Chain A
């Protein structure tokens, strides 16, 4: 399976389920998708990370304008005066890194369960 398609599938499912399920659902999505699509360790990790990173980054970018004063400027202060633009990047990473781990685990779990 092409990594790009994998990224797309994880991103779409993450977006859909996150509308009504807790934040960690992106990890469950990455795990299950990588379990069934057999992407290999490296691809599983990077595709899951990039997919969720992208969804969280873009979504937070649009959510920023839900408020009169950009939420990113408030968050940048709460998070210790980081530049406002890097708040979006950090949001992406906080979503992406654990999802990457979950994707990797999904792939790995399939390998082990096939060995048995």
Chain B
């Protein structure tokens, strides 16, 4: 009997052990990998598809029109030689999947709010946010619009390429992350490509300051609010300088007037601010300013730095075009790159195209709301969020005339619906923008090709070897009336909605300006004379540094432009230090701190990893804000607020030193700007001196190291704590997890030449030598040449992998 009992217990333990090691049962809320399956040397982490790194093979593909050759060069960049566009896109899909399959799957699930299905409850809040925001709804709408477009087949060919690769995989070939999370690749669909596109739209156009602005305008009053948070800056280098007065009739004449914004603050919200660091630089020089006499085009988008990188490099060549550059894995074409005629790229426009409206409920159940005096029903969308190891969570999202209800308050008094441009069903083949760009032969063709792009709006810049340079604030923009979308508005009046779109020819744009350059770095799109109102969050210092440098250039070489992209001097630092010198005397500083203070005042404002001055400056600015805006800070517990911009604080210190905001409420004394500045710098110097006394490693690189996280944020697959030069306000805009995610310089000579680099590697396989091989070069400001001239004959000799795709007979 005892024997039998023991036997049964052993049997049970063995069974449980196997189920646990196979990932069928979990003992913890955070799932752990299926260790048996994962560690098996026959099919687990020890095996995965590495054919692209050393093997050559032939495939027969149904639906292929002609032969295609894919050849990987020494940087593991695929060179695709096809006979037509469709086959080239098929091969791009195939190589994107070959190198970045897990990343693509992860990003599409991140956008859809489906991470918890394999990561567990840790990502539940993130998933809920994506569902509330209607990311999948936006992607479904995108596909609805795309399907009816004439070039939809191109997208399908790209997707076929991805699926051909997926189908070729045996479970033992899956990338290591699939095995770690115990999932398998799912079939790729247009929806997934749309999700990746929407994820990028969220990063670039998914933000607003409506809530903090509404709160502050209510608490401070309109006059003070305008004083502290003006829409336009006092000094502006607009993306598109005004060459002559704007001479078009706006659409405003046909608009009807509407009510204003909410008259009370919004207490406690879900809304999360945006990390500082997302942005981009782009500029182009006309031939008159270059050593070659031909234009140079440069672009470095500052997006999150991840492993694998958000960019993948590729070269696509057919008898009709020859293009080279980068794109997002999962999205066809070349987003930033060049061909034999033109070079192109983008920076973010940063205008606000996401507005919030308060819902006026018509019943207690909050299923009906008022709009234009009539009751309307909400549409319910059930979101089932699968959570690994737990029961699914069902979230019911209410959709209104405006869009989904994003913020909900317990009592229903402040339910805010979101009107976001990225939810709209597109009426163009916007997915084709970066496919068509590859074939453009001049700037006019480029303008025509990018006119289909809707959102996230970008400053599309280009230069051609005919000598053109040009830039257009490109995308679809609502023709907002004065202050539309700056604050939360009442949702019971449809006239508060955007009433029309600005015609594309009224978007600010410029071509071959007299100053000899075009440039953009997320600053205001156009100056105050532009007839349409717009608001947003705009950059102040980087763009000024760039324009100053470009104005001073007489003849620049591509090498000079490369150095400029790596420039880490901050104009913000220069202005704050200059203010310091004008406001206080060094005698005011405690004698023990004077050495440190003089370091700061004699600094060249470069954010080098081994310097201490950047730490002092950044801490000083933070402290200065905190002391000055103590009144605003006190509100934080109850509501979302924001500080005025750095430049506004600086301006106030210089022009209005006795302003009441400089008085610290908690002290009996009445402080002025000078008191505040002295207090802030003394506190900061003391703080930094304390740190130095404790450690000899007080440097910018140690204080704000760069982290390049794996997309899942697993430390084991990430590259962390990298001391790096640069800061968000410098041209080399590295900032914790953000930075120049791709640096590119193209010289538009008769045979265009390019160089570029990104902080990662082409392969998504952490055990590949191409996983992060470019990080060191990127850190040191080195580039590799973008080999657009590579021929099939050359590559036949040097490629480490050659894949021949043949049409199936």
Contact = CB atoms under 8 A, between A and B. Distances in A.
Q: Do A and B bind each other?
A: yes
A78 B767 contact: no
Given A74-B717, A95-B36, A98-B21, A63 B10 contact: no
Contact of A67 (B13, B39, B43, B50): B50
A112 B40 contact: no
Contacts of A71: 45-46, 176, 767
Contacts of B18: 24, 27, 98, 102
B218 interface: no
Most buried by B among A18, A66, A75, A95: A75
Interface string A96-110: 011001101100110
A94 B50 CA distance: 25
B768 interface: yes
Given A23-B36, A98-B36, A108-B7, A78 B717 contact: yes
Contacts of B47: 63, 66
Given A68-B767, A98-B18, A18 B42 contact: yes
A69 interface: yes
B714 A78 contact: yes
Contacts of B43: 18, 22-23
B24 to A, nearest CB: 11
Contacts of A104: 10
Interface residues of A, number: 34
Given A69-B767, A74-B176, A60 B41 contact: yes
Nearest to A80: B716
Contacts of B50: 66-67
A4 interface: no
Identify whether the interface residues of A are mostly helix, strand, loop, or mixed.
Answer: helix
Contacts of B46: 59-60, 63-64, 66, 71, 91
Contacts of A60: 39, 41, 46
Contact of B10 (A27, A74, A77, A108): A108
A19 to B, nearest CB: 7
Interface in B1-37: 4, 7, 10-11, 13-14, 17-18, 21-22, 35-37
A19 B53 CA distance: 23
B378 interface: no
B576 interface: no
Contacts of B769: 68-69
Contacts of A90: 39
A96 to B, nearest CB: 11
A23 B768 contact: no
A56 interface: yes
Contact of A74 (B7, B11, B44, B767): B767
A57 B479 CA distance: 67
Nearest to B20: A98
A83 interface: no
A59 B47 CA distance: 11
A72 to B, nearest CB: 9
Contacts of B45: 71, 74-75, 78
A54 to B, nearest CB: 11
A42 B235 CA distance: 84
A74 B409 CA distance: 46
B768 A18 contact: no
Contacts of B98: none
Contacts of A23: 22, 36-37, 40, 42-44
A3 interface: no
A59 B767 contact: no
Contacts of B14: 27, 98, 101-102, 105
Interface in B220-237: none
Given A18-B42, A77-B716, A105-B10, A24 B22 contact: yes
Nearest to A69: B767
Nearest to B765: A67
B763 to A, nearest CB: 9
Contacts of A109: 7
21 contacts: A18-B43, A19-B42, A22-B43, A23-B42, A56-B39, A56-B41, A59-B46, A60-B41, A60-B46, A63-B41, A64-B46, A66-B47, A71-B176, A74-B717, A78-B45, A95-B36, A95-B41, A101-B14, A104-B10, A108-B7, A112-B4
